[in-house]
Amino acid sequence: MPQIVILPHPTYCPEGVVFEAPRGQSICAALLDHGVEIEHACEKSCACTTCHVIVREGFSSLGQLEDKEEDLLDMAWGLEATSRLSCQAILGGEDLVVEIPKYTINHASENHPA
């Protein structure tokens, strides 16, 4: 099983976390299974960008980026060349180092003036 290193994030895992997860599982599911409560406003249906992550190591081992995910990523805050929606990024056999961006775009939870 690949080892997943999650870099420290002030809200989701202030000290970072390391765990193993099975091949074929999404990064989002692996995070949730290991107590990292990453946002996933669309319930992992590839309809938002709240579960956006940046894969610092092991990017090439992930499942293929589909057109729908690529289109959504264009709207993600802090997009980088190794960005993925964690609900769509399927684990391969390599270890990963993952960063959860500091901000997310979640229209359902943002405060809008009345």
Calpha distance 64→105 (Å, rounded): 24
Distances in whole angstroms, Cα of residue 80 to Cα of each of 46, 55, 77: 18, 9, 9
Contacting residues for 44 by C-beta, under 8 A, at least 6 apart? 26, 28, 29, 51, 87
Residue at token pair 């939870």: 109
Domain ranges of the chain: 3-99
Instruction: Please name the CATH architecture into which domain 3-99 falls.
Output: Roll (3.10)
- pLDDT digits (tens), the chain, 114 positions: 999 999 999 999 999 999 999 999 999 999 999 999 998 888 888 989 999 999 999 999 999 999 999 999 999 989 999 999 999 999 999 999 999 998 776 644 443 333
Calpha distance 74→70 (Å, rounded): 7
